[in-house]
Chains A and B, each alone.
Chain A
């Protein structure tokens, strides 16, 4: 039963009834896996295994396998870490911030975006853990354990430790938020199933019945979790930016970092949501749920955050000049015209110029352009982190220790590994979990009562 308003474009097209929503979303959970899905999974697992060689080599031989040197002590690993964490921000932004703003269009994309968040954070966490060199020890070095464990208490003055708390809190709260939303949909699948599937989804659904009292509590929980997750998501990338901003490296030591990083994170996250959703809607025939309205609104978020990022780049340059600090000025001139000029200008082109194309309605409502630009934005955001990290480090205060960074096969391999991991998890999610929040989509089918499709 869908209501068609004369003013607004409907959030779900194709005159769907409640039963259609259940059917369209449960279909791929219940059906046999498609060839496209199996091919995708094979490629993802292949990448995972291939990259696994690099991870194995890194753990076995140590991080000397990477291209780091005594001048550039952080490079691809932290670049990839910040990149993946940034991607993770869109999921919480869509489900929490848009819930607080009562943006109902979030309902058909929040599930997949949150899944993307969780998987991206898992990929991100790989890098600091591997960078510890001995990850099995690192697991407790980072925890506040008593001095008898071999070292002193962890240092609560350090932003790196704040990151441990921020990322792990972010991961666990996102996971819980995601799972609470999944419970009613698992119950829907349970009630359609028989045999083993009924047992499995019955356990996953935690005995949900859809009682009005449970829904009342569910709504309260969602609202409070959204209220908690909103400052949380802002705090996470703020703290990630503190890793750099609280140091005294020219190019890092700037107060603009927290808002600039958060905007960049949302920017890259929405681009990744678009990349994934454009494929998912096509593969699972969900064009009526993830409509052009959704794509256009996400593109508008990309214009806004892309412009914020662009202004931040220009501001950084201006402040470097205006501060009169020579080292700071050199760091920025070196970024744009030094040996890594190509990385800087790739970043500028991909992040500042290309999203401005979305001002044209033709481009922002074109699937092909949106898909291509979403890839461009993700490439640009990777270069942004590379530029900030490597170009600030490689020419430090002593010219005698200036160096270049070149990635080794292990650097590339570990990055590939996280891609394999991400897509393996996402494809498994897309097959076995309902990719669209059925209950919430049903609740927006009928918002006012004018004309009802029965």
Chain B
């Protein structure tokens, strides 16, 4: 897919102004590429219309996998492959298997979820991200609008909209 290269950036100082601005911009029919913030702004994903993160489901499924693997492993080793009576308990002492089963459930749930997070958010050590504005990891909220995706609306109109919605700066940004 050809990556779009020309963007209009609205720079905001305050998270509440930003959230109102996002609502206003979206109501006027302009499509927002993405908003970059230095810290998690609560409620921003709602005004942007993002669907809830599905990562908890991934965690649950990986956790279930951990439970099954742990129980299977312990039963196979202790009860099937080399059954021994230890401490007068039977060959499959399920209560004794609870601690390891719990630990492996937590381990697989955490690592599975984090793995899915890394892949879905494209986080990897060799990633070369496109930084729209260096200040977006410091103290500014940056709203990026893709010009090509809003071809039906004039560029000056979009800039005007950003200005009136409370942006402290409106810039153009092009990538190679």
A contacts, CB < 8 Å to B: 1, 17-19, 22, 144, 147, 152-157, 159, 161-162, 165-166, 169, 172-173, 176-177, 180, 183-184, 187-188, 190-192, 203-204, 206-221, 224-225, 228-229, 231-232, 235, 239, 242, 438-440, 442-443, 446, 449, 452
Contact = CB atoms under 8 A, between A and B. Distances in A.
B16 interface: yes
A355 B147 CA distance: 63
B28 interface: no
Contacts of A229: 106, 110
Contacts of B158: none
Given A180-B114, A235-B103, A1 B14 contact: yes
A304 to B, nearest CB: 26
Given A161-B100, A180-B114, A217-B117, A231 B106 contact: yes
Contacts of A242: 99
Q: Give me the 7 closest cross-chain CB pairs, A-B, nearest first.
A: A207-B127, A18-B139, A220-B53, A206-B123, A162-B99, A442-B39, A443-B39
Contacts of B103: 162, 165-166, 169, 232, 235
Given A19-B138, A217-B117, A224 B55 contact: yes
A17 B139 contact: yes
Given A165-B104, A172-B107, A232-B106, A210 B99 contact: no
B107 A235 contact: no
Which one of B38, B74, B78 has the greatest number of beta carbons of chain A within 10 Å? B38
A18 B38 contact: yes
A213 B50 contact: yes
A191 B134 contact: yes
A206 B82 contact: no
A156 B128 CA distance: 46
A187 B123 CA distance: 12
By secondary structure, the A interface counts as helix
B97 to A, nearest CB: 6
B67 to A, nearest CB: 13
Contacts of B127: 206-207
Interface stretch (B1-9, B85-93, B148-156, B159-167): B85-93
B96 interface: yes
B53 A176 contact: no
Interface residues of B, number: 69
Contacts of A157: 78, 86-87, 89, 93, 96
Interface string B8-23: 0000011110000000
Nearest to A452: B14
Nearest to A152: B82
B125 interface: yes
Nearest to B74: A156
B48 interface: yes
Contact of B137 (A17, A187, A239): A187
B68 interface: no
5 contacts: A161-B100, A180-B117, A209-B137, A216-B45, A228-B59
Given A235-B99, A446-B14, 4 more contacts: A156-B100, A165-B99, A213-B121, A452-B14
A242 B98 CA distance: 13
B53 A155 contact: no
A166 B121 CA distance: 30
A207 B16 contact: no
A68 B114 CA distance: 43
Given A176-B111, A180-B114, A215 B100 contact: no
A204 B125 CA distance: 6
B99 A208 contact: no
Given A157-B89, A212-B44, A231-B106, A188 B99 contact: no
B36 A210 contact: yes
Nearest to B128: A207
Contacts of A173: 106-107, 110
B143 to A, nearest CB: 9
Contacts of B93: 157
Contacts of B13: 1
Interface in B48-73: 48, 50, 52-53, 55-56, 59, 63, 73
Given A173-B107, A173-B110, A191-B137, A221 B117 contact: yes
A212 B36 contact: yes
A177 to B, nearest CB: 8
A406 B128 CA distance: 58
Output the residue of B52, B81, B82, B137 with the most chain A CB within 10 A. B137
Nearest to A180: B114
A203 B126 CA distance: 6
B109 A156 contact: no
A166 B99 contact: yes
